[in-house]
Amino acid sequence: MSKKIRRVFNWTLIFTFSFVIVFIILKQNHEKIDEEKVNWEARNAIRINNIKRVCEKYNLGIYKNHKDDGKNIIKYPPTPQYTASTTWLYNICLLMRIPEAELSSGREQISTIARRVIPELDYPEAEEAMQDTTKLLVVRHPFERLLSAYRDKLENSIAGRQHGTLHFYRKYGSAIVKKYRGNDFVKPRDDQVIHPINLPKPAGIEPTWSEFVDYIIDTELESYGDDHWMPYYLFCTPCSLNYSLVAKVETLYQDQLFAFEKLGLSQLIKPHWKHKVGISNAARIYFKQLNISQVNRLYNKYKLDFEMFAYSVDEYFQFTHDYATEENPFEVDFFSDVYDNE
Ligand SMILES: *[C@@H]1O[C@H](CO)[C@@H](O)[C@H](O)[C@H]1NC(C)=O
Ligand SMILES: *[C@@H]1O[C@H](CO)[C@@H](O)[C@H](O)[C@H]1NC(C)=O
């Protein structure tokens, strides 16, 4: 064979070989995705059934037994709500053909953009819209959500003013401090809070996490809760709406893939990965400012959310400053594994 022919032959061999390999990889991937789809489907069904079970157990929403004249906990009509999930707002904006560059420019908050392109609906349009839309609920561990709200809105009235921190200070923060700060106030130690180095320090007038928690414990959230800390069962009325998709921030990436698939959008948008999984480091740090009794009372406020969305509270007790001394005299290794509730 001439040199030239041999070279062509070699290249053909290499091409064919690569092609076969790529084909095998793609095929395996496809099988894996098919298998995952079954898992997603099952996981979503488990979540929906669990919500239904808890609604029935506590006689809530459409599962309310009307013979029972007990007080109906749900006071809010089910209007479509903007969830606090930035990732989903981002996805919705993409669907409304807002360029990605605009969304990630940081010039405007994503919720502001979303509100502009999809205005909130009033009755009766809202009710009609609710009948024939696919309803998606995005939830997060109740304590992570609460801590995140505190840290974003209340901890620092100087930083993040574009996110309304000054407004939150005036509306909630100052009153919380006035009510809950005693004469024996001791500032949380530096190892009990996180001050991002690239942000200005708080003014020192803001409520501490512990004061905020005491405020939440004493507040009737049905009537005086802010959207950011109103329990989901009151705010998103999962007992009155048939959500067909229940996504969790903790499994957001897979849940997005599943939702896009279900909605037939997988060719249009790709998931964005914006959250970490499991218990945050911030929780380990901030829950040290609390004692067992506070966490217990806080848990009772959000118990229905915990139950409805199958979250566990146990680890958060272990972070409290008096945990190691009470019934558990030994230090507990709670840093070991990533939290997974399913
Ligand atoms: C939700 O779905 C169930 C069964 O599919 C139905 O009986 C119920 O009326 C629906 N509820 C609402 C609020 O659409
Ligand atoms: C826990 O903390 C709260 C709020 O600071 C306080 O009122 C309460 O007495 C504490 N309880 C215990 C058992 O230390």
The pLDDT of residue 224 is above 90: no
67 — pLDDT class (breaks 50, 70, 90): low
Ligand 1: centre distance to CA 56 (Å): 13
Q: Identify the H or E element spanning 222.
A: helix 221-224
Q: What is the mean pLDDT of residues 219-237?
A: 85
* DSSP string across 2-18: -HHHHHHHHHHHHHHHH
Pocket test for ligand 2, best of 291, 295, 296 (most atoms within 8 A of CB): 291
Ligand 2: centre distance to CA 294 (Å): 7
Nearest-atom number in ligand 2 for the CA of 213 is 4
Of 2-16, 20-34, 73-87, give the lowest mean pLDDT range: 73-87
333 — pLDDT class (breaks 50, 70, 90): very low
Query: pLDDT (tens digit, 9 = 90+) per residue, 238-254?
Result: 888 888 889 888 888 88
Q: Which ligand is nearest to the CA of 209?
A: 2
Q: Which pLDDT value is given to residue 118?
A: 62
Rounded mean pLDDT of the chain? Answer: 78
Residue minimizing CA distance to atom 2 of ligand 1: 242
- Using a 6 Å CB cutoff, which residues line ligand 1? 62, 240, 242
* DSSP string across 223-240: HH--TTTS-HHHHT-TTT
Residue minimizing CA distance to atom 6 of ligand 1: 242
Rounded to whole angstroms, the Cα distance separating 79 from 64 reads 19
- Using a 6 Å CB cutoff, which residues line ligand 2? 210, 214, 291, 293-294
Closest CA to 152 of 137, 167, 142: 167
Rounded to whole angstroms, the Cα distance separating 248 from 141 reads 8
Q: What is the mean pLDDT of residues 300-308?
A: 94
Query: pLDDT (tens digit, 9 = 90+) per residue, 111-167?
Result: 676 666 666 656 566 666 655 677 888 889 999 999 999 999 999 999 888 778 999
Q: Which two tokens stand for residue 65?
A: 């037994």
As a residue count, the chain comes to 342
Q: Which pLDDT value is given to residue 278?
A: 67
